[in-house]
Amino acid sequence: MRSLLLRASLGLAAFAALAAGPLRADPEYPKMGPDIYDVHADGSAQVAAAVSQAAAEHKRVIVDFGANWCIWCRRLHSTFENDPSVSRALGKDFVVVLVDVNTRSGVNRNADLNAKYGNPIEHGIPMLVVLDSSGRQLTTKDSGDLEEGDSHSPAKITAFLASWAPPAR
């Protein structure tokens, strides 16, 4: 009886693992690692949800335009996620939206959203756009200004964030 239950449990576990496999898509650029930008997401819907969340939480929105092939996009994302001072400032005052603007197979992803904010990616990626909690564009930032050597400067990023944080309540 115990053997039968064990085999049934293992069979169910194997089935669950196989069924869950298709839920996680392969990275768009496997040599770059897991995707950080959702290649299927509607950027306008992402921003609308972020603005709604920002309004409820009295925060601002940072729209991070980038692509999964972009090493500087990945470096900026890593600093956002892994530097304690940067991640603390982001979590306190901002809702971050990662918007994929890759061009693949002749399709410019989220081109309408890029156009809405004045085509910031014409100057390269990653590009940051700060919105207030009503969705009004406050500024656009070329992330190159935040670089230092072969990475992004946490001090430059936190200074930028402090300058665009919402007013104290």
pLDDT digits (tens, 9 = 90+) for 98-145: 999 988 778 798 999 999 999 999 989 999 999 999 999 999 999 999
- Could you name the CATH architecture of 29-164? 3-Layer(aba) Sandwich (3.40)
**Regions of the chain where pLDDT drops below 50:** 2-23
What is the gyration radius of the CA atoms in the chain, in angstroms? 20
Q: Is 29 helix (H, G, I), strand (E, B) or coil?
A: coil
**What pLDDT sits at residue 27?**
73
How many angstroms separate the CA atoms of 159 and 155, rounded?
Answer: 6
Tell me the two tokens of residue 168.
């104290």
Q: What is the pTM of this model?
A: 0.82
